[in-house]
Amino acid sequence: MTLRKKLFLWIGGSATFALLIGLLIGSLWAAPPQDGAKAADSSGMTYLAAVLLLLFTIWAIASMASQQMTARLRSLVRRADRVAREGTLEGADDEPGHDEIAMLADSFNRIAGEWIQGEKLRNQLVSDAAHELRTPIAILRGHLETMWKGAAEIKRENLLSLLDETKRMTRLIQELQQISLAESGQLSLECSWVRFAPLIREVADIFGVEAEEKRIDLTYEDDTPQGFEVYCDAARIKQALINLIGNAIRYTPEQGAIWIRQSVAREGIVQVEVADTGPGIPAEKLPYIFHRFYRVDDSRTRTAGGTGLGLAIAKQFVETHGGTLVASSAEGKGTVFVMRLPVFPEA
């Protein structure tokens, strides 16, 4: 028989064998018959040996447990250091087990993941803002430098052009702020019971003049019960509807058509559809239309007056209410946006 460790304790002619294979697995002792005094002495020594053996075993187990715990904590420290230096959790495995260290590692992974995602959103937001502000700032600078040098007269038309660019930058900054709050989960809602039909009609009326100028047939249908109400933030939902209908007006050609239809999708869910006869969206581009600053057609964005944030903001506002916003499109035939909102407040 092969043993990794063998410990012999000889006590007054008796033998006690402690057999350890990595950990204590048992002990065996044997002794010839003893008289009373020798038996008592032998028993005392045997007891002492057993205590010493128990203490040694406890020390060995504690030492191994301490080494294992130290190694796991060092691994967690290295993971934290990597997040601080590289901003990534890539390659970090889940901590095995269900003890306190595993719970600590799981909490760290969750918090670090949220921090990394927040940093990515912040960096992307700064990059997007810098990119979008570059053009209007360049236009303003060009006009102002020309006027300053006296190479151009200060005309009303030029001033109006500069004013338009400043308004565009103001709107862009406001929209960036809104979408940043929504993406970070800090967008506050001031909800109340809102009659939905008048809200949609109000938004449709905003675009009435523009639709007439382009000879667009703007139609609104209400298939909900009279006086139908939804518990929502009226200002946020109104902004989402303005963005959706405004997008339809912007890309629908002259003598086209736009339909707005309100209905009850199922119990507790209201649905608003905005359909147009615009150019449609290619299938390969459709998954990206709710991304910030994504443009199906870059060449039309500035002439159409869009910032590239309208659909992203609409989706964020709707999802903050616990709803959904999806789109379907047939290239050359038009696009349909479907917004669904819960009628009742979430529990």
Res 30: pLDDT: 46
Question: Is the per-residue pLDDT at 340 higher than 90?
Answer: yes
90 backbone dihedrals φ, ψ, rounded to 5°: -60, 130
Q: pLDDT (tens digit, 9 = 90+) per residue, 183-204?
A: 777 788 899 999 999 999 999 9
The residue length of the chain stands at 347
Rg (CA), the chain: 37
Res 89: pLDDT: 62
Question: Is the per-residue pLDDT at 15 higher than 50?
Answer: no
306 close to 250: Cβ distance less than 8 angstroms: yes
**In what helix (H) or strand (E) does residue 319 lie, and over which residues does it extend?**
helix 310-320
Question: Is the per-residue pLDDT at 309 higher than 70?
Answer: yes
Is CATH 3.90.25 correct for 100-183?
no
| Mean model confidence pLDDT for the chain | 77
Q: What share of the chain is helix, strand, coil (3-state, %, to 5)?
A: 55, 20, 25
What is residue 277's three-state secondary structure? coil
108, exposed or middle or buried, with CB in 10 Å at 0-12, 13-18, 19+? middle
Mean pLDDT of 119-132: 69
Q: Give the Cα separation of 175 and 179 in Å (integer).
A: 6
**DSSP letter for each residue of 90-136:** TTPPPPPSSSHHHHHHHHHHHHHHHHHHHHHHHHHHHHHHHHHHHHH
What is residue 185's three-state secondary structure? coil
In which residue are the tokens 């006086």 written? 227
Q: Which of 139, 59, 189 lies closest to 302, judged by CA?
A: 139
How far are the Cα atoms of 11, 12, 14, 29 from residue 32, in angstroms, in the given order?
12, 10, 7, 11
Is CATH 3.30.565.10 correct for 192-342?
yes
101, exposed or middle or buried, with CB in 10 Å at 0-12, 13-18, 19+? middle
Q: pLDDT (tens digit, 9 = 90+) per residue, 71-117?
A: 777 777 777 777 666 666 665 555 566 677 777 777 777 777 777 76
Res 23: pLDDT: 42
pLDDT confidence band for 40 (50 / 70 / 90): low
Structure token digits, residue 154: 């200060």
Residues 6+ apart with CB under 8 A from 322: 341, 342, 346
272, exposed or middle or buried, with CB in 10 Å at 0-12, 13-18, 19+? buried
Q: Which of 178, 194, 221 lies closest to 314, judged by CA?
A: 178
Res 110: pLDDT: 76
In the chain, what is the greatest distance between 2 CA atoms, to the nearest angstrom? 127
Domain boundaries, the chain: 5-86, 100-183, 192-342
Q: Whole-angstrom distance between the N-terminal and C-terminal Cα of the chain?
A: 68
Question: Is the per-residue pLDDT at 342 higher than 90?
Answer: yes
